Structure 1
Amino acid sequence: MGTNILLIEDDEALHRGIRFTLEQEGFETRGARTLAEARNELECGEFGLVLLDVQLPDGNGFDFISEIRSRWRIPVIFLTASDQEFDVVRGLDLGGDDYITKPFRLREFVSRVQAVIRRSAVAQEDAPAAAKPQHSGGLTLIPGEMRIEKEGRDIPLSLTEFRLVSLFMAHPRAVLSRDQIIRHVWQGGVDVLDDNTVAVNVRRLREKIEDDPQNPRFILTVRGAGYRWNG
């Protein structure tokens, strides 16, 4: 049986087309056209991925991802007609694992869905090996829940952020190159699309864990070499 996917999309024609494509690829797919329907599906079923439209009749996907992150450990891909950089960055900063703009090419869409599911599976495999909380410099990483605690505050992580901070904390003070980070975090770099991908994800992680992301304490840049964790 394939991975169960929840598709939250209110455009009827697009909804049918996406479900047909995913089911042809062997995925089990459930559909919701409102956030109310999505909550019911999440309460009743188990899913390996959520495809989340941003504009829905009864709410906003950007708001709904916070609810998902607080209750379920499921990767989320945003689907939206907006390709504005602000919206893309906002979606990723809120914990989205990818952001796909409409209209999209179906083969690329399926490839990106498969990539997120693959990363999720690897993250699940990694968690038992480091099931105990990891402490570093006042931060506590909770592997089984993919979150960090900082000064009593819970910080949810996306799959990419979880793998990135796990790598850093496992190698304190070691300088990690861009290529080393890609091999660990993206498992061969399947969906690393440009040279800025690592830098963008480091910036997102810094914004979550650093007191001053412009003058980081934990993730230090080693010019010309990579990054170093200063736990």
Structure 2
Amino acid sequence: MNNATILIADDEREIADLIALHLEKEGYRTVQAFDGVAAVRAIESKSVDLAILDIMMPGMDGFEVVRHIRERHRLPVLFVSAKTSDFDKIAGLVIGADDYMTKPFNPMELVARVQALLRRSRSLSQTRTDEPVTIVSGGLTIIPEQRHVSIYGETIELTPKEFDILCLLASHPKKVFGVEQIFLQVWGEAYYEVGNNTVMVHIRTLRKKLGEDKNKDKWIKTIWGVGYTFNG
């Protein structure tokens, strides 16, 4: 994947240049944008394989750019931000980013994370021979190949991470997955300090979208002290 094209969107040109320098050393092509509007324009006009976004950008902030990306594209997104609180990290991941780094950062770690995200993106894009064509549980229907979810015929819009969590659990009904397992399988990297809250927040929003707070269907079951399972 070293021939991938990576968008770097940061209003601090020195940081954008530093990231581009290290990525280009590894053989990646880079495109730079210095505000959110330019970032969206680049995504729509270039063949971008991954986006590295700052949060605090003029014109359109990083959160808005991610919303735009998730409405139209599946490319991985890495936030690199001066916002260091767990709340900001979780908010970035919940809104649709795949990973989050804080400034100042180690450029080689950033390159490693980019490589991991691209490997995972490539893996997910390949058809899995053991993946069921359709998963049906009561009124819930999941079509993994199309990344489509519906309940009693009504389409449910999920973020990529919410879909991956649901598909992971639903593909292995009754199997209990710990938080660390879910984080490793869905985020494609080792569990780290905010992983627990990240998984819990995603599952809470996923349950809400599935309507588990309004109806008797409970597809995701909590096994207290252990993890989560699909009650299909």
Establish whether TM, by shorter chain, passes 0.5.
Answer: yes
Contact 1:138 1:150 in 2 (8 A): yes
1:155 corresponding residue in structure 2: 157
Question: 1:148, CA displacement in angstroms?
Answer: 3.3
Structure 2: unaligned runs, 5 residues or longer? none
Separation in 1, partners of 2:35, 2:141: 36
Q: What amino acid is aligned across from residue 36 of structure 2 in structure 1? A: L
Decide which of 201, 205, 208 is 1:207's aligned counterpart: 205
Question: 1:140, CA displacement in angstroms?
Answer: 3.2
2:8 corresponding residue in structure 1: 7
Q: Secondary structure at the match of 2:157?
A: strand
1:192 corresponding residue in structure 2: 191
1:108 corresponding residue in structure 2: 109
Question: 1:162, CA displacement in angstroms?
Answer: 3.6
Question: 1:229, CA displacement in angstroms?
Answer: 0.4
Per the normalisation by structure 2, the TM-score is 0.82
Contact 1:7 1:29 in 2 (8 A): yes
Instruction: Summarize deviations over 1:31-55 as a string: whole Å, max 9, x none.
Output: 1112222222222222221111111
Separation in 2, partners of 1:43, 1:131: 32
Question: 1:208, CA displacement in angstroms?
Answer: 2.2
1:50 corresponding residue in structure 2: 51
The verdict on how the C-alpha distance between 1:4 and 1:142 changes in structure 2, with shifts beyond 3 A counting, is farther
Residue 169 in 1 paired to residue 167 in 2? no
Per the normalisation by structure 1, the TM-score is 0.83
1:67 corresponding residue in structure 2: 68
Q: Secondary structure at the match of 1:55?
A: coil
Residues paired across the two proteins, number: 226
The verdict on how the C-alpha distance between 1:127 and 1:220 changes in structure 2, with shifts beyond 3 A counting, is same
Contact 1:92 1:99 in 2 (8 A): yes
1:25 corresponding residue in structure 2: 26
Instruction: Summarize deviations over 1:175-229 as a string: whole Å, max 9, x none.
Output: 3455754664455xx43225x736631541331233357x992221224544220
The verdict on how the C-alpha distance between 1:43 and 1:65 changes in structure 2, with shifts beyond 3 A counting, is same
Separation in 2, partners of 1:201, 1:107: 26
Q: What amino acid is aligned across from residue 106 of structure 1 in structure 2? A: P
Contact 1:150 1:209 in 2 (8 A): no
Contact 1:127 1:143 in 2 (8 A): no
Identity of matched residues, %: 32
Question: 1:129, CA displacement in angstroms?
Answer: 6.1
1:117 corresponding residue in structure 2: 118
Separation in 2, partners of 1:52, 1:117: 16
Q: Secondary structure at the match of 1:174?
A: coil
Question: Alignment RMSD, CA only?
Answer: 2.8
Instruction: Summarize deviations over 1:155-190 as a string: whole Å, max 9, x none.
Output: 2323x4443322211111233455754664455xx4
Question: 1:92, CA displacement in angstroms?
Answer: 0.9
Q: Secondary structure at the match of 2:84?
A: coil
The verdict on how the C-alpha distance between 1:59 and 1:126 changes in structure 2, with shifts beyond 3 A counting, is same
Instruction: Summarize deviations over 1:79-105 as a string: whole Å, max 9, x none.
Output: 210111221111111111011111111
